[in-house]
DNA sequence: GCCCTGGGCGCC
DNA sequence: AAAGGGCGCCCAGGGC
């Protein structure tokens, strides 16, 4: 049964509707404070799907009240998927307010604002429209799975922020002091950086140089005789000059200080938890984005500070080479799936005699996924195309489709954006490959082809990962029944193809098993009985840094 | 003072 | 001949 939640005049209204066609049934009006108890009671009775405008507007308060829900439909996220999906059946245009709706975060003053734009939308009508779009889809199963997975992801994201990743500020502080010296007063460099800046200035004979200024640094490097056009680390590495070692060290430590230094600790770690905001569907391909704290790029350098509570463990799991495996599945390329039978797909390619070394295999596969054709990566392509014609054919088709200005889609039907450049307009007008165009136009066209090439694989990879997380979330809930979410094994972090679960130590092994079973389930959901392995590296550790 | 862009670099 | 996907975030520096 579907229950649609809406907010009217400060009260919560719960409308019961038929799950098949959205026909409305009875409605209940509740003072806002009574909602959590009411939801908890229905949830315990089972078989309910909560339908709401936006998970970020409802779920955090339910979690605060100790209420966890099993299933939901997030109308905002679903509308975004349907808007671009070639699999969506025809429906009247949605209220444009759905496309404009922004997720909210805890500190957001708009959260309980009477002027919240969400309150002028009609969730009942939008729910009916979305049901109709799926019912009329030529791929109901796939599209329905995508919407369900997207909504489950929204629940998982809210729960991860709520629970937080265990983070030891003392450990992090020790690490910073060890590398940078004592914390300086605001506006000053820590001692180690100050010393390195001095060495850089001396080596370049530039006593006033600010090494944080790329423009000034470039000029100083050139004056000192280094023929560089930029100041990137991998450019500098190529030169033997006394400035290079201290400058590279300076850049490494300055980056740590700026991105994950004491200021980061102050801003993002409270009560032993790092609580990043995850944004499901935040990337066009369907990957999650994040907001605040740089959650999607927590450097390996500071992961020693992510430490399980006493008596608990972190179960860290990641998939080896997710994207080439997904490509094998979506193209049903049996030869590539064979290579993927090995725990290391690249080793499997070497064993099959496709390439001579693992390094070649990796270069070739990444080139196929990203559109790299330069140098060694490009030289691998003909061999890969011969041995894996279906897989390579799929990404090549996606590239050509994008170059024509047309739309591609993932396995479950997430559509790519329509290109906006002038070249795309030409292509659309001509309906064909356009006249020979200028160099810039050509470059833009090919860049879009690389984007659509990668879109189909990255996006389907994101769908696999979403199914994995969604299934795992429910499996974890069944371990340790009767406890609140944060006293059971629960997800605390997700990063494209990696999850971290915080669990009582005695359940760590069982959690690892559930992580593997969830991966197998995700594979079956997307690829049916096509034989394809998704091997995981799983580690139960005290600190995140001890995994992998 | 705010806002935007580009360089650079962390993650996948 | 040239041709490498997706993000977020920090800083400097220029425009207002």
Q: What is the mean pLDDT of chain A?
A: 91
How buried is residue A436: exposed, middle or buried, by Cβ count under 10 Å (0-12/13-18/19+)? exposed
pLDDT (tens digit per residue) in A280-335? 999 999 999 988 888 888 999 899 999 999 999 999 999 999 999 999 999 999 99
Residues near A287 by beta carbon (within 8 Å), at least 6 away in sequence: A458, A459, A462, A496
- Placement of tokens 């038929």 in the chain: A18
Calculate the angstrom distance between C1' of B1 and CA of A109.
23
Lowest-confidence range among A161-170, A190-199, A310-319, A365-374? A365-374
Lowest-confidence range among A51-60, A101-110, A300-309, A416-425? A101-110
Residue A195: band (very low, low, confident or very high) from pLDDT cuts 50, 70, 90: very high
Calculate the angstrom distance between C1' of C8 and CA of A85.
26
Percentage of chain A surpassing pLDDT 70?
95
Looking at residue A7, its pLDDT comes to: 87
Nearest-nucleotide field for A235 (CA, C1'): B8
The yes-or-no verdict on residue A419 having pLDDT over 90 is no
Looking at residue A332, its pLDDT comes to: 96
- Cα separations (Å) of A322 from A4, A340, A461, A534? 36, 10, 7, 7
Q: Which residues pair with A197 in a beta bridge?
A: none
Looking at residue A417, its pLDDT comes to: 92
pLDDT (tens digit per residue) in A72-100? 999 999 999 999 999 999 999 999 999 98
**Residues of CATH 3.30.70.370 domain(s) within chain A?**
276-320+463-546
Q: Is the CB of A389 under 7 A from strand C?
A: no
Nearest-nucleotide field for A254 (CA, C1'): C10
Looking at residue A69, its pLDDT comes to: 97
Nucleotides of C under 7 A from a protein CB: 2-14
Looking at residue A428, its pLDDT comes to: 65
Residue A481: band (very low, low, confident or very high) from pLDDT cuts 50, 70, 90: confident
How buried is residue A520: exposed, middle or buried, by Cβ count under 10 Å (0-12/13-18/19+)? middle
Nearest-nucleotide field for A287 (CA, C1'): C6
Residue A436: band (very low, low, confident or very high) from pLDDT cuts 50, 70, 90: low
The yes-or-no verdict on residue A429 having pLDDT over 80 is no
Nucleotides of B under 7 A from a protein CB: 6-12
The gap between the terminal CA atoms of chain A, to the nearest Å, is 43
Region A454-464 average pLDDT: 95
Q: Which residues pair with A493 in a beta bridge?
A: A500
Q: Which fold has domain A276-320+463-546?
A: Alpha-Beta Plaits (3.30.70)
Quick one: CA dihedral A440, A445, A450, A455, positive or negative?
A: positive
pLDDT (tens digit per residue) in A255-267? 999 999 999 999 8
Structure tokens that stand for A228 in this block: 């560089």
Structure tokens that stand for A405 in this block: 């200005």
Looking at residue A477, its pLDDT comes to: 96
The yes-or-no verdict on residue A434 having pLDDT over 60 is no
Residues near A443 by beta carbon (within 8 Å), at least 6 away in sequence: none
Calculate the angstrom distance between C1' of C1 and CA of A353.
31
Q: Is the CB of A530 under 7 A from strand C?
A: no
Spatial CA neighbour of A196 closest among A131, A265, A254: A254
Q: Is the CB of A43 under 7 A from strand C?
A: no
Q: Is the CB of A366 under 7 A from strand C?
A: yes
Residue A422: band (very low, low, confident or very high) from pLDDT cuts 50, 70, 90: confident
What phi and psi values does residue A163 have, to the nearest 5 degrees?
-75, -40
**Could you say which residues 252-311 of protein chain A have a Cβ atom less than 7 A away from any atom in strand C?**
258-259, 264, 279, 282-285, 287, 289-294, 296-297
User: What is the β-pairing status of strands A498-504 and A490-494?
Assistant: antiparallel
Looking at residue A109, its pLDDT comes to: 55
Residues near A458 by beta carbon (within 8 Å), at least 6 away in sequence: A285, A286, A287, A323, A369
How far is C-alpha A422 from the geometric centre of its chain's CA atoms?
A: 30
Residue A438: band (very low, low, confident or very high) from pLDDT cuts 50, 70, 90: low
Length of chain A: 548
Looking at residue A114, its pLDDT comes to: 60
Structure tokens that stand for A495 in this block: 């990063």
**Sheet strands side by side (includes A498-504):** A490-494, A498-504, A312-319, A536-541
- The answer to whether A124 touches A25, Cβ cutoff 8 Å, is no
The yes-or-no verdict on residue A111 having pLDDT over 60 is no
Spatial CA neighbour of A2 closest among A21, A12, A13, A32: A21
Work out the number of other CB atoms within 10 angstroms of the CB of residue A155: 24
pLDDT (tens digit per residue) in A227-249? 998 999 988 988 999 999 999 99
Calculate the angstrom distance between C1' of B6 and CA of A232.
13
pLDDT (tens digit per residue) in A2-52? 999 998 887 888 888 877 777 778 888 998 889 999 999 999 988 899 999
User: What is the β-pairing status of strands A72-74 and A49-52?
Assistant: parallel
Residues near A510 by beta carbon (within 8 Å), at least 6 away in sequence: A479
Structure tokens that stand for A205 in this block: 């004979």
Lowest-confidence range among A57-66, A110-119, A456-465, A538-547? A110-119
Structure tokens that stand for A41 in this block: 């009671």
Nearest-nucleotide field for A215 (CA, C1'): C12
Rounded-to-5 percentages of helix, strand, coil across chain A: 55, 15, 35
Percentage of chain A surpassing pLDDT 90?
72
Buried b (16+ CB within 10 A) or exposed e, A5-33: bbbeeeebbbbbbebeebeeeeeeebeee
């Amino acid at each position: 049964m579907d229950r649609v939640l809406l907010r009217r005049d400060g009260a919560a209204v719960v409308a019961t509707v038929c799950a098949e066609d959205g026909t409305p049934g009875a409605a209940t009006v509740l003072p806002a404070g009574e909602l959590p108890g009411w939801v908890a009671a229905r949830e315990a009775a089972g078989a309910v799907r909560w339908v709401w405008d936006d998970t970020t507007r409802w779920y955090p308060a339910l979690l605060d009240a100790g209420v966890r829900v099993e299933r939901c439909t997030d109308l905002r996220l679903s509308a975004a998927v349907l808007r671009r999906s070639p699999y969506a059946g025809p429906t009247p245009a949605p209220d444009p307010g759905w496309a404009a709706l922004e997720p909210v975060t805890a500190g957001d003053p708009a959260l309980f604002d009477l002027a919240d734009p969400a309150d002028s939308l009609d969730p009942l009508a939008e729910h009916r429209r979305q049901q109709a779009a799926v019912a009329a889809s030529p791929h109901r199963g796939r599209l329905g799975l995508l919407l369900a997975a997207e909504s489950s992801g929204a629940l998982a994201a809210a729960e991860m922020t709520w629970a937080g990743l265990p983070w030891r500020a003392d450990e992090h502080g020790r690490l910073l002091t060890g590398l940078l010296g004592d914390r300086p007063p605001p506006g000053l460099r820590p001692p180690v950086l100050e010393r390195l800046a001095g060495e850089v200035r001396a080596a370049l004979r530039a006593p006033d140089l600010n090494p944080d200024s790329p423009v000034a640094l470039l000029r100083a490097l050139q004056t000192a005789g280094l023929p560089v056009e930029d100041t990137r680390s991998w450019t500098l590495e190529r030169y033997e000059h006394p400035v290079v070692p201290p400058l590279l060290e300076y850049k490494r430590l300055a980056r740590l200080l700026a991105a994950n230094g004491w200021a980061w600790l102050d801003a993002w770690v409270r009560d032993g938890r790092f609580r990043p905001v995850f944004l499901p569907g935040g990337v066009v391909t369907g990957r999650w984005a994040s907001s605040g704290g740089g959650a999607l790029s927590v450097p390996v350098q500071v992961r020693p500070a992510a430490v399980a509570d006493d008596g608990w463990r972190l179960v860290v799991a990641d998939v080896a080479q997710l994207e080439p495996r997904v490509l094998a599945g979506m193209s049903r390329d049996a030869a590539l799936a064979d290579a993927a039978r090995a725990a290391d797909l690249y080793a499997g390619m070497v064993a099959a005699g496709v390439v001579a070394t693992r390094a070649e295999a990796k270069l070739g596969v990444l080139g196929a996924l990203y559109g790299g054709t330069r140098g060694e990566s490009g030289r691998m392509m003909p061999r890969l195309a011969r041995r894996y014609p279906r897989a390579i054919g799929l990404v090549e088709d996606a590239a050509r489709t994008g170059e024509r200005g047309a739309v591609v889609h993932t396995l479950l039907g997430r559509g790519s954006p329509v290109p906006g450049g002038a070249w795309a307009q030409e292509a659309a007008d001509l309906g064909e490959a356009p006249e020979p165009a200028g160099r810039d136009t050509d470059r833009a066209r090919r860049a879009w082809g690389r984007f659509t090439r990668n879109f189909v694989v990255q996006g389907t990879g994101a769908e696999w990962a979403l199914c994995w997380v969604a299934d795992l979330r429910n499996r974890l809930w069944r371990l340790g029944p009767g406890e609140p979410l944060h006293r059971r094994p629960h997800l605390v972090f997700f990063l494209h193809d990696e999850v971290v679960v915080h669990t009582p130590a005695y359940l760590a092994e069982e959690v690892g098993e559930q992580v593997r079973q969830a991966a197998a389930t995700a594979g079956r959901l997307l690829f049916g009985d096509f034989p394809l392995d998704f091997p995981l590296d799983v580690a139960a550790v005290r600190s995140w840094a001890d995994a992998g």
